Structure 1
């Protein structure tokens, strides 16, 4: 059966659906209209708010102005900062109200009190420096008992909420720390709400104070009102090891502490920059003009010590051209060193780095007057020794020494350049007509780059300089001989028995070895300056060396081996090894050893500084000053060190177990030490004979018994009979020997000249000058040999018996 009935909505269902839809549409339309009304009302409120805000702001300005300027009565009086003492105060207040529709109000309060801007914290005074244990300001030598100290006072107002202090130390291996990242903090302290106090903070050697490091101190206080300040010492402090001569150290201390004591030449009042705290490896002087062009004369001068001011002297100036400056390729770069007087007049040696020239200039009042001599540094006078084989150019990367010899008696200056291995020839300048009487060593430095002057509190600008050169040391010594000096010279042999050779401020020269075979029965060589061309060996005895009254220098080209009991006076320069097994010998002067130093047996006293370019073995000796070893150190049981003595070494250190800790504490390993000076052995020219006719024409006879004023010229001379004391004799043996015997108890004074032979003496004392190519025998002497210079015997040089 088929059902044809169709499904669909009834009328009632349709009516109900339409009713529901109508209700929904009416609700939506009503809500939309109400929302539009609310939005429009919000817009009106916002407009009113901004409008009344503008009215209120203008009202606040007007009310505050009238309140301050017209002294209107206040509505309220209130106190503020009641918990903070000095900040507590009472202020007058006015109330301002503005009604806004909708039962709303703007309320504000204004005061006529002018609240001060918060003050910054104050630290007064503020100082940072180097001091000794007694509170005296001192130079920062690490070897001394020093401490760096920051001192300051926190002022009572404004109140400090917190104060942070710090010490900073430069990092190891950074030679010129210019950024904060180049420093490590080594001390920090935080003070909470400190009272007004005097505050001191020190760093001492047992507490973070190291040599070859830079230090600075900072304090950062801030107040309860939130103001912060930063205080830091303007100049960083460098702790230095002592290096260079005592005169050089004193000179740098004067620059550091007492610049008025230093001679500075202010050409046209231009500023000079002097820096001595820039190089952690050396106490170094850097200097430039503000206008860095070549200033001609000296910028600054170091006084020649009084000891050398009226005699022949040598000055050695160590310097180095800055590698950065020479790499820049500037067409202006150089250093000048001169012998000058107080008026900046004298001789100035200029080293022109760009053109590789050395020029010697006469200056008057700081201005060039005359070029005396100019030489190339690449192909003349031995300067070619300094040429770098790889670049074929003068090697400015090295440290050099410029040597001046001022020969007052001859009115000459001799100049030479050397490094640690080779030297140039001497340049000799005759000073006739220049009227130069030097009492200062003058220095200048210049380049085509600006030096960069100080800028406070800016680390990078303050310390990043364009250096052109660095001065490391200046040393002075007396000159007791030069090419024209007449020495007391022993040639191929020396044989002296029980006699003293005496010569204060005199020189004696041995052109071979000096040993016990030469000097028997404890004879003494009491001569200020002793030169030994080869070795010096005294394995026993008590032979005294040097003059106790006028100590000078003892130079030995080879080894020095000694034992026994003797005093040695003056600075000692050994080219080879020094070995001592002395039970009680003493050296009264500095000791320079070119190779190894062995003080293993015996209690030798060494009263000066010791410099060793090799290894050092120390057991029983007594060290009174400092030791500088460019090598290894081996210790035995048990040396004695003076209270302030230290041993600086670059190599290894070995010692027995359970060793004395006090001694070990004074052995300091360093990267480098000052090396010993080399012995300077002269090459004297033996005088030569004059023509035969000269002797005949000047009163010389061919022989005869000795008597006062006799002058003898013969092939050889022999006096065998007893001789009484005689004076002013001259004996010249043309081809042979001079032999004088049997003058016991007598004294012979004069000149004995055997240019091709030997001098034999047997008797009393001799006083005068002996020059003998083959040496001297004084085998049965009992008196003394006293050295005299030729000009003490013969005043007129034209009467000298040789040329």
Structure 2
């Protein structure tokens, strides 16, 4: 009898222990669901959360690479400001565009999303991706010039660019020049810290050491013509696309270069360890070179039947609005307390902050001496010239942007920094 009672007691105890272990053990982690799309933000891969659960920083990983050779690149993406990746928020990748990207749940390593790259490879749809059949282009809604200027962080847009200043600070911004660029257009020691450059004509830098591209956020440099980087040990950051011939001598190349034409090398170029130059035409090298040059320069120049190509941004130059619109929005012929000017052309000296100047039929010239000017300068039928200590803002000028004073510092600010309501945009 005692044995039976003892046996029952042990059985009950065993059941209790099993129940305690089962109930106290961690339950399967609930897997979040999220719709992530891949897009293009100023030449960078951008992942946008378009629906589903919010993802807390540390609870997801992002892998990128080619085929099945993927690496954890989570730390190369921007971090959501509140530590939670929620609907409508975008993470931008600071690195070359991969062929494949997946987002997984940390811990279970369950794939949450594998955004599709439309048309494959390194070319993908503008942000956001347009739904459609894989590999087929969608039909995105046509955007207004102001929308593109804002989304692509356009800093300067015009037919010419002359920079006599010290440096331009515009990482993650874009400069669009519908013409070309040559040595005389730049201060010999200038550093143009701008992520993306688009040139509609030849670029010939043969002297000085003015650098192009952003070291901290390298983007795209596109030349619709020939590119010459001959005399001068300048730095070139970002991937370079040349729709013409490329002549390289003293420059330091930090990214990949794609040349739809011939490649000519001088005696003293430098190409970063993981960078290459791909070209479709003929290769010309110095007649004699050593083993170091053969390994570190010539071996990194690879002939291809075709190379990836870029195009100039395709959007209409913005026009001024009607005179009545500016009148009802407190624009004046001269600078007043409203800080908004609408005039055929405009010239002023002295410092000014947060101004908006529209010269609807001519040029804008501001600054002078040790002045500082901030704001938006818009000349749809003319040019903008600044001389002074520093300029901060946005310049949209059909005939170009000219910095005439040495030592000037120029800093990009999105137009949204000055105009919060889209209804108040001056073009």
The question of whether the paired residues in 2 share the 8 Å contact of 1:753 and 1:770 is answered with: yes
The question of whether the paired residues in 1 share the 8 Å contact of 2:152 and 2:174 is answered with: no
3-state SS of paired residue (2:211):
coil
Taking the aligned partners of 1:639 and 1:554, their CA distance within structure 2 comes to 30
The question of whether the paired residues in 2 share the 8 Å contact of 1:516 and 1:537 is answered with: yes
- The match for 1:307 among 68, 77, 86 is 77
- Runs of 5+ unmatched residues, structure 1: 1-245, 262-302, 319-336, 351-398, 431-479, 620-634, 652-672
Per-residue deviation, residues 292-351 of structure 1 (Å, max 9, x unmatched):
xxxxxxxxxxx9985378346897869xxxxxxxxxxxxxxxxxx99999776798799x
Which position in structure 2 is the counterpart of 1:322?
none
Taking the aligned partners of 1:616 and 1:562, their CA distance within structure 2 comes to 16
Residues 515/317 of structure 1: CA separation in 2 closer, same or farther (3 Å cut):
same
Which position in structure 2 is the counterpart of 1:732?
358
- The match for 2:373 among 738, 742, 748 is 748
The question of whether the paired residues in 1 share the 8 Å contact of 2:278 and 2:302 is answered with: no
- The match for 1:686 among 298, 317, 329 is 317
**Cα offset, 1:519, TM superposition:** 1.7
3-state SS of paired residue (1:647):
helix
- The match for 2:244 among 569, 576, 580 is 576
**Cα offset, 1:528, TM superposition:** 1.1
3-state SS of paired residue (2:365):
strand
**Cα offset, 1:490, TM superposition:** 4.0
3-state SS of paired residue (2:392):
strand
Taking the aligned partners of 2:295 and 2:308, their CA distance within structure 1 comes to 26
Per-residue deviation, residues 699-723 of structure 1 (Å, max 9, x unmatched):
2112136x7x61111111111x4x1
Per-residue deviation, residues 127-175 of structure 1 (Å, max 9, x unmatched):
xxxxxxxxxxxxxxxxxxxxxxxxxxxxxxxxxxxxxxxxxxxxxxxxx
Which position in structure 2 is the counterpart of 1:252?
68
Which position in structure 2 is the counterpart of 1:428?
140
3-state SS of paired residue (1:526):
strand
Per-residue deviation, residues 224-257 of structure 1 (Å, max 9, x unmatched):
xxxxxxxxxxxxxxxxxxxxxx9434x5236xxx
Which position in structure 2 is the counterpart of 1:22?
none
3-state SS of paired residue (2:331):
coil
Which position in structure 2 is the counterpart of 1:164?
none
Which position in structure 2 is the counterpart of 1:638?
290
The question of whether the paired residues in 2 share the 8 Å contact of 1:414 and 1:429 is answered with: no
Which position in structure 2 is the counterpart of 1:698?
329
Residues 315/751 of structure 1: CA separation in 2 closer, same or farther (3 Å cut):
same
Taking the aligned partners of 2:326 and 2:234, their CA distance within structure 1 comes to 44
The question of whether the paired residues in 1 share the 8 Å contact of 2:187 and 2:406 is answered with: no
- The match for 1:565 among 219, 227, 233 is 233
**Cα offset, 1:532, TM superposition:** 0.9
TM-score, structure 1 normalization: 0.38
**Cα offset, 1:753, TM superposition:** 0.4
- The match for 2:129 among 405, 413, 419 is 413
Residues 401/566 of structure 1: CA separation in 2 closer, same or farther (3 Å cut):
closer
Residues 534/674 of structure 1: CA separation in 2 closer, same or farther (3 Å cut):
same
- The match for 2:169 among 492, 502, 510 is 502
Q: Which is bigger in relative contact order (C-alpha 8 A, separation at least 6)?
A: 2
The question of whether the paired residues in 1 share the 8 Å contact of 2:242 and 2:260 is answered with: yes
3-state SS of paired residue (2:388):
strand
Q: Report which of the two structures shows the higher radius of gyration computed on alpha carbons.
A: 1
TM-score, structure 2 normalization: 0.68
Taking the aligned partners of 1:644 and 1:650, their CA distance within structure 2 comes to 12
Taking the aligned partners of 2:255 and 2:249, their CA distance within structure 1 comes to 19
Residues 642/791 of structure 1: CA separation in 2 closer, same or farther (3 Å cut):
farther
Per-residue deviation, residues 650-699 of structure 1 (Å, max 9, x unmatched):
88xxxxxxxxxxxxxxxxxxxxx685321332123322222322222222
**Cα offset, 1:773, TM superposition:** 0.4
Which position in structure 1 is the counterpart of 2:266?
600
3-state SS of paired residue (1:786):
strand
Taking the aligned partners of 2:346 and 2:374, their CA distance within structure 1 comes to 16
Aligned residues: 343
Residues 577/247 of structure 1: CA separation in 2 closer, same or farther (3 Å cut):
farther
Taking the aligned partners of 1:537 and 1:732, their CA distance within structure 2 comes to 32
Residues 597/637 of structure 1: CA separation in 2 closer, same or farther (3 Å cut):
same
The question of whether the paired residues in 2 share the 8 Å contact of 1:403 and 1:416 is answered with: no
- The match for 1:541 among 194, 208, 217 is 208
